């Protein structure tokens, strides 16, 4: 097995390598003067089972091109199998036509990854399950529910919890966590006027006196979470926290969360934000390195990945 890391999330790649007790493959990914990306693999990978770890987070286009170019280099170096490990799959929110003459960018990215030489894909908490079908190669989608459940049990009393879905589309995800914790479920009914903006309209479920935990797959500008937290506090909630798989946290998201009614926001380290986590008073990070590392080990040993979620 060989592990190769792009520049998108070196800390996570190093943690995965530590979990597997496998050193990261020596490689260089750099830019020419005109910002064209160049990659070279500094170790022999002929006949090897190579996992390239690269989130396609901001700057999404640069990180995506790094991934494609590294896979092309591995393919031309005669790697036996190339697995694209995408802790965060960018462009996942563009998974359907939302109007006339609009793209399905998630399908385009899937085609690019396949054409560049990936033999299989390992990702985590896809925005929509059907994106797995966009790939014509084996694709494993990991779920973060177990990781978040363990953190919640360590930090919250489970007898008065209320798990909350921030929208109707996330009910299945929130219900899975609520069932594992033996908690009740509530839903936020919201109206989104335009992309990046949302308005909370109603809370479905009695949150009065409950410790509420919003559970979602992506937090971008954090507007929805902050509005939902304020609405639930107005309905008498004892406290409102949020657990989210991918902390995109664009723009002033960190400041918005710090100034909101949220008790805390817990995200995974699928996206690297440097020292912003330590500077925030409310945003906390949990590691998914053991989850991804174990999935990589099982794939390399031809073992079941789905048993991770039994």
Catalytic residues: 190
Q: Please give the Cα distance from 199 to 30 (Å, whole number).
A: 42
Compute how many other C-beta atoms are within 10 angstroms of the C-beta atom of residue 118: 27
Q: Please give the Cα distance from 152 to 267 (Å, whole number).
A: 12
Q: Going by C-beta distance under 8 Å and a sequence separation of 6 or more, which residues neighbour residue 169? A: none
Under 8 Å between Cβ of 176 and 125: no
Q: Please give the Cα distance from 93 to 106 (Å, whole number).
A: 7
Q: Please give the Cα distance from 72 to 204 (Å, whole number).
A: 49
Between β-strands 211-219 and 239-247, what pairing exists: parallel, antiparallel or unpaired? parallel
Closest CA to 234 of 259, 202, 263: 202
Q: Please give the Cα distance from 111 to 97 (Å, whole number).
A: 17
Q: How far apart are the first and last CA of the chain?
A: 26
Spacing of C-alpha 143 from chain mean position: 9
């Amino acid at each position: 097995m060989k592990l190769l890391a792009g520049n998108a999330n070196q800390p996570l790649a190093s943690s995965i390598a530590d979990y597997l007790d496998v050193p990261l493959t020596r490689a260089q990914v750099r830019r020419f003067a005109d910002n064209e990306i160049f990659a070279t693999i500094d170790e022999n990978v002929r006949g090897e089972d190579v996992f390239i770890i690269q989130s396609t987070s901001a700057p999404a286009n640069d990180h995506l091109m790094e991934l494609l170019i590294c896979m092309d280099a591995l393919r031309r170096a005669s790697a036996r199998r190339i697995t694209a490990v995408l802790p965060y799959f960018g462009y996942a929110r563009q998974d359907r036509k939302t109007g006339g003459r609009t793209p399905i960018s998630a399908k385009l990215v899937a085609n690019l990854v396949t054409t560049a030489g990936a033999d299989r894909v390992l990702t985590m908490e896809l925005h929509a399950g059907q994106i797995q079908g966009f790939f014509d190669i084996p694709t494993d989608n990991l779920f973060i529910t177990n990781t978040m459940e363990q953190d919640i049990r360590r930090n919250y009393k489970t007898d008065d919890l209320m798990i909350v879905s921030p929208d109707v589309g996330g009910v299945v995800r929130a219900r899975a966590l609520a069932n594992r914790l033996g908690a009740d479920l509530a839903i936020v009914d919201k109206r989104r006027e335009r992309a990046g903006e949302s308005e909370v309209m109603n809370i479905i479920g009695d949150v009065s006196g409950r410790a509420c935990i919003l559970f979602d797959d992506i937090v971008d500008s954090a507007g929805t979470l902050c509005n939902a937290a304020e609405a639930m506090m107005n309905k008498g909630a004892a406290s409102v926290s949020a657990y989210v798989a991918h902390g995109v946290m664009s723009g002033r998201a960190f400041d918005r969360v710090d100034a909101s009614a949220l008790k805390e926001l817990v995200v995974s380290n699928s996206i690297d934000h440097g020292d912003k986590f330590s500077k925030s008073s409310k945003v906390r990070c949990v590691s998914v390195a053991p989850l991804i590392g174990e999935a990589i080990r099982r794939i390399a040993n031809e073992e079941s990945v789905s048993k991770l979620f039994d």
